[in-house]
Each structure stands twice: as structure tokens, then as C-alpha cells.
């Protein structure tokens, strides 16, 4: 049951961010269960992005519609404001980091894969460019940096995020960035420009803070 785990958030935060994998298999039944659980427990605004699990059954559009109808703001390259804080969100994509970032060269399938990463990074930058508030946060499912996937098997680093998502953050700085997906990664890292990045994948939070609810609370400083 998710409700008892999330209920304490109401007294600790002004809004809740969900960084993808909102369902196991992207099924509509799962989406309905999720919104029922959230409605029973969470009374503050909820903002979300989809994750790779939410695409598994090819029903991501319908899943998004169910979430939206329940009052959850789902971001896919958009910016949204909650209580004076601007939030930019996108799913992101995989592809690797630094010199290991996959390039669009060779077979058509490789070029198509890389184009997906480029398209997601473009959506993310579009969202960041729309932020107009003093306090700004960004949310993704995939990681924009290598630092927060460290701890995962080296062989799967390239499937956990890509550096193309970091580039927009260097052009449109935010106070902090949140992502999920890397269940065995590191809790925190920084972009090359010094922006804090936090891995908030629920399995990681539950393992790292076994005596606390599976969410983290952050404070944005005024000024």
C-alpha cells in the first residue's frame, strides 16, 4: 500500500514530485490504482514525469490522461509553477555519459536511438527555457549526469541516462535537479556547472533511509 508511506508528506512539503515509473507495466489498471492511492494520501499538489516502465504496454497516452484527470500535472517538455516555484520536466532518455555518449553514426537503428535522446534533451531544454520564477527545479526520469548512477553495474550506465540532458542545465541553471531510474545509484551528484542533482528512485531511498518514509524533503532558499 502506497498511501501510508506517502501520507506524512502533507505535513512536510508544499508539493510532491514523482520522477517516473509510476506503474510497473504501463497498464491502465495500474494507473487507476496509483491515482486512488495518491488521492487517499496526498493532499498537496503533485507533479510527475513518466518513466520507461510507463511506456511498456504502449498505453502511455492513456496513462497520462488518467493521471491528469486525477489532478496530477504530468510534464513532457513543459514548465509548470507551483506556489512560486517553477518546475521543468521531461522523461529524458538513455545513451551514456561524457566520451561514452552514443553518437548518431552507423546503422539506421543506432541513429534512430540517438535521435530519441536528442529529442528528449530538446524537450527538456524547451521546458527549462520557459521557467520565469526565481526558484527553479528540474525533474527527469533518466539521469543527466554519471555521478548519480555510480553504484550501478558499469555495464548498464549507458541505459540510465545521458549527458545530452546535462547540456541544457548548463544553459538554463536551476536550483536543483531530481531523477529516478537508477535504483542502485548514488543519492547525490552535481552537473559540471555545479547544480545539485538528486537521485530519488524509491528503491534507493528505501534502502538508504530504512527508517523514514520513501521520499526526501528539500528546502529552496529565498533570494
User: Residue 3's pLDDT is what?
Assistant: 81
pLDDT digits (tens, 9 = 90+) for 54-92: 999 999 999 999 999 999 999 999 999 999 999 999 999
Sign of the alpha-carbon dihedral angle for 192, 196, 201, 203: positive
Cα–Cα distance measured from residue 129 to residue 77, given in angstroms and rounded to the nearest whole number? 10
Of 74, 98, 119, the domain-final residue = 74
Establish if 19 belongs to a structural domain: yes
Q: Is the same domain home to 8 and 87?
A: no
pLDDT digits (tens, 9 = 90+) for 160-199: 999 999 999 999 999 999 999 999 999 999 999 999 999 9
Could you give the number of structural domains in the chain?
A: 2
Name the pTM for this structure: 0.96
Cα 101 → chain centroid: 20
Residues 54 and 23: beta-carbon distance below 8 Å: yes
Give the contacts of 156 (CB within 8 A, at least 6 positions apart): none
CATH number of the domain to which 108 belongs: 3.30.750
User: Residue 222's pLDDT is what?
Assistant: 62
Q: What average pLDDT does range 31-50 have in this prediction?
A: 97
Q: Is the same domain home to 140 and 51?
A: no
How many residues are recorded in the chain? 223
What is the phi-psi region of residue 212: left when phi exceeds 0, alpha when psi lies from -120 to 50, beta otherwise? beta
Q: Is the same domain home to 6 and 40?
A: yes
Model confidence at 223, in pLDDT bands (50, 70, 90)?
Answer: very low
Q: Is the same domain home to 53 and 126?
A: no
pLDDT digits (tens, 9 = 90+) for 101-133: 999 999 999 999 999 999 999 999 999 999 999
Q: Is the same domain home to 112 and 125?
A: yes
Beta bridge partners of 74: 48
Range of the domain at 169: 76-214
> Which three-class secondary structure string do you get for the chain?
CCHHHHHHHHHCCCCEEEECCCCCCCCHHHHHHHHHHHHHHCCCCEEEECCHHHHCCCCHHHHHHHHHHCCCEECCCEEEEECCEEEEECCCCCCECHHHCCCCCCCHHHHHHHHHHHHHHHHHHHHHHCCCCCEEEEECCCECCCHHHECECHHHHHHCEEHHHHHHHHHCCCCEEEECCCCCCCCEEECCCCCEEEECCHHHHHHHCCCCCCCCCCCCCCC
**Of the candidates 5, 6, 64, the residue with the CA atom closest to the CA atom of residue 30:** 64
Cα–Cα distance measured from residue 210 to residue 121, given in angstroms and rounded to the nearest whole number? 34
Amino acid at each position: 500500500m502506497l498511501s501510508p508511506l506517502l501520507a506524512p508528506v502533507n505535513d512536510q512539503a508544499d508539493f510532491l514530485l514523482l520522477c517516473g515509473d509510476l506503474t510497473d507495466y504501463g497498464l491502465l489498471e495500474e494507473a487507476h490504482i496509483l491515482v486512488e492511492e495518491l488521492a487517499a494520501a496526498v493532499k498537496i499538489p503533485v507533479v510527475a514525469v513518466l518513466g520507461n516502465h510507463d511506456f511498456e504496454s504502449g498505453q502511455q497516452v492513456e496513462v497520462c490522461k488518467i493521471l491528469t484527470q486525477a489532478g496530477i500535472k504530468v510534464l513532457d517538455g513543459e514548465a509548470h509553477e507551483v506556489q512560486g516555484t517553477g518546475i521543468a520536466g521531461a522523461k529524458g532518455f538513455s545513451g551514456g555519459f561524457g566520451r561514452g555518449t552514443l553518437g548518431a553514426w552507423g546503422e539506421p537503428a543506432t541513429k534512430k536511438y540517438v535521435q530519441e535522446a536528442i529529442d528528449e534533451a530538446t524537450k527538456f531544454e524547451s521546458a527549462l527555457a520557459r521557467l520565469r520564477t526565481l526558484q527553479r527545479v528540474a525533474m527527469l526520469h533518466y539521469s543527466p549526469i554519471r555521478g548519480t548512477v555510480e553504484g550501478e553495474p558499469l555495464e548498464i550506465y549507458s541505459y540510465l541516462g545521458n549527458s545530452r540532458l546535462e547540456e541544457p542545465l548548463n544553459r538554463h541553471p536551476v536550483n536543483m535537479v531530481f531523477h529516478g531510474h537508477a535504483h542502485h545509484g548514488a543519492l547525490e551528484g552535481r552537473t559540471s556547472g555545479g547544480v545539485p542533482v538528486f537521485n530519488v528512485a524509491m528503491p534507493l531511498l528505501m534502502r538508504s533511509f530504512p527508517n523514514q518514509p520513501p521520499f526526501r524533503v528539500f528546502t529552496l532558499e529565498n533570494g
